[in-house]
Structure 1
């Protein structure tokens, strides 16, 4: 809904920052080194040339131009250096006289004067380096007011709010919802965001895909995520483990895992189960369970007795740490029995520098050393 503006004012909105600047008075003159101007024009020959001539008449120097196709025309975004003392309202009036609509005039930072391809690639680099910051990166790419991550079932992509709302599924049961009040999203902007989320999905799938351990004895050990079809193999793993090994993992006396646990072990809610597989046998099982309250994600390990002290636990924990980073986790935690330092030693070999939780010697916490994938 439009708002009534006082006479002699114009609503001006920021296009690359989160909060738009709302109003510039008619007397406001050029003080910044550059302005960013968004102009909606009819896609007809000569229109842009006439605008360029008008800008030249006002002694404005065009530094950059981006063209965004929109229904019924195009949206030109021009970065220019204004003449000293030029009122913004005079620029707006000149553009209007050419039959075009000036939807934004804001101060621009020349350090941000890069072509859209470079800006998008830079955003992609940031997203790969900091997967947990993808929402913030998307907000910058879209010049959105806000971007939030929600479960896919709550995203409601059909609700576009006249183009001011967009949904981007990310393939892990979640989606990003972007909103921008000051201007509807245009197709080119949405395409960039879709490409960025697609890239991150490919990066995540590549990281979470199976890997083969390079072992000196030539044994083919594969680390991969668990699936429901692994239930029998995981049950057999528990049957081959000693009571001591199972007690260190589950902290209770048990000889075999109950059948009702198998699906949760393989497909934990919100989490990941990582299997170490040799041939048809599962010889190790690791889990990563993000905390519901945003605290450290919990990790746990189980390695068959005959495969212990052969690097399987180290490989599982190393991989779980990488997967934790892709999910934006910054810290891991594990529960250990008093006197059991096996996980402490494993974490040390991985380079996680474990620490005992203050007041809780049975809990280890590991600060992830780097947020890079």
Structure 2
């Protein structure tokens, strides 16, 4: 038996696919997988088949045509074609996430393209397909031109390729936003936007933090937040979450040592920090606070709000280092600190940053 790929167009009407498959079955052809691509010209059926060694390309084409198929394309296939298509696409996406520079190779593997060319200018014409040519918009800028001898590209293939480019662009943006910071004591950490795949590391961070540290972060208690709540914090609907992690040098896995949340509501954004106990008083809190403040300003928020226990002198000391006007409201043992981020709003200078409750120690 020999593996073949067969692609043919049939009328997109009930029963037409069964006529084609029956014609192949009469010649001992075993269909291993089939994908259906809907087009304006009909349903394009893409088969992976196992055919008797006695059948050649011409006989397979004849069998397709007897089954009311048209625009037939037939080519030998390899054993790797047996891989489940969704699994194969997910594997290519994973490769792209880890190596965004492999975009061209990934597109070639996905579509069996004979030529993949990246151009530094946007597509001069509308992206899409034209027979054996495909033009894709690169979300990072520029465009990709793909060609293959046969068969013609389909809209489904175009959609898959463009979706893969979006995955690669997201990975590239995340790498670009990642920075290495050096703390005053010389320790190096990676600071980057958080994602859903950081859940395990953030769960571990909460587990190793002391009850006092967790209680200062969440105010209401020292219990561990649920995974569902942490997922929402990692990918807020509006705002940003940063994590700081050890660089994982010498083959060691990275370890998340701090999480900083900027959660937006209306024109204000609430900020909160959680720093692992052994990384407190080393400048990390101040580093994260400054980065989130710049992010809040660039996003156009009017003010940044922090809810801090009055006895949390380390956090108050960290906020003082911003040297920004700060409004303070106190309700029993809880302070609400508001840092205006736009110049158009009035600020009560009598409660500016210099008048924050004095801190005697520092996390940042």
TM-score in terms of structure 1 length: 0.47
Q: Which has the higher contact order (CA 8 A, sep 6+)?
A: 1
TM-score, normalization: structure 2?
0.48
